[in-house]
Structure 1
Amino acid sequence: MRARDLLTDFPTLGLDAPVVDAARLLALQDLPGVIVLGDEGEPFTILPGAEVLRLAVPAYCQDDPALARVIDEAHADEFLRALDRRTVREALPSRPRELPVTDPGATVLEVAALMARTRSPLVAIVEDGRLLGAVTLKALLERVLPA
């Protein structure tokens, strides 16, 4: 079995899209992450859902969970509004990580190893510089786990 056998169409966002659009896409389509395309239309990064939350939750609450507990609910419910003003480009870490991208001929084990190494719930599949789609962790596990 090859990556092409597990391939599915997958939504993408550009670097200048608002981060809140990524959050909406994740929620409305129940996605594990989003493929972010660079300025030339090539995969630039994979933005996992947990990373979107990391961008939204104030750093002081991530660093000290006790602070998150003392913030009243009215203010706590507003934390996602901070995303309204930020683009994906602005929110990405300054040090790029290994990009989980492979070709359609990659084996299932190659795809699984790439997911594990990059801690990404999906891998972009690219051929001749063109994004074909993605392999999700769910699709991979459904095909390889015994019934």
Structure 2
Amino acid sequence: MYADVMAEEFPVVRLDSLALQAARLLAENRLPGLVITTADGRPYTVLPASDVVKLLVPSYVQEAPTLAAVLPESMADRAADKLGGKTVRDVLSARPPELAVVDHDDNIVEVAAMMARLRCPLAAVPRDGAMIGVITASRLLELVLAPT
């Protein structure tokens, strides 16, 4: 099976999209991450949901997780404020994770190898420079584990 057959429609956002909208898209669709594209629609990077969650927790709590127990839950209510007015580009790390990008005619093993090497839950599938879809790790597992 080839990547263009495995690929599914999947929400993507551009670098200049609002970070809060991207976070809502992740939450509402329970996505493992989002493919981030350039203004011309080319795959650029992945924004894992875990990175967005990390933005909501102050760095001092990340360094000393026991502090989380003493912080009021109302702090979580202000989480959206941290993303307000920022673009996806603003919230990406200085060295964003590499997105698995596979050729439309890569087979299932080639796709799995790329995703495993990059430890990326998503693989973008472009053809002629335009995204035709995304393969998620769960979709790949579904196909691999399907009864024959």
| 1:1-147 → structure 2 map (5 Å cutoff) | 1-147=1-147
Q: How many residues align?
A: 147
The one-letter amino acid of 2:114's match is L
> 1:24-60 CA deviation, whole Å, 9 max, x = no partner?
1112122221111112221111111111112222222
- Contact 2:46–2:98 under 8 Å retained in 1: no
Unaligned ranges ≥5, structure 2: none
In 2, distance between residues paired with 1:15 and 1:106?
Answer: 27
Q: Which amino acid aligns with 2:142?
A: E
Report runs of 4+ in structure 1 exceeding 3 Å deviation.
Answer: none
**Residue 79 of structure 1: how far off its partner (Å):** 2.5
Aligned 8 A contact 1:3 1:103 in 2: yes
Contact 1:58 1:79 in 2 (8 A): no
The normalised TM-score by structure 1 is 0.91
What do the CA deviations read for 1:1-42 (whole angstroms, capped 9, x no partner)? 111221101111111212111111112122221111112221
- Structure 1 gaps of 5+ residues are none
Shift of 1:66: 1.4
Alpha-carbon distance in 2 for matches of 1:80, 1:65: 21
Check the 8 A contact 1:6/1:140 in 2, yes or no: yes
Identical aligned pairs, as a percentage?
44
- Pairwise CA RMSD: 1.5
Supply the AA of the counterpart residue of 2:6.
L
Write the letter of the residue equivalent to 1:12.
V
Please say if residues 11 and 35 of structure 2, whose CA atoms lie closer than 8 Å, have aligned partners that are also in contact.
yes
Over 3 Å counting, the alpha-carbon distance change for 1:85 and 1:56 in structure 2 is farther
Equivalents in 2 of 1:18, 1:139: separation in Å? 27
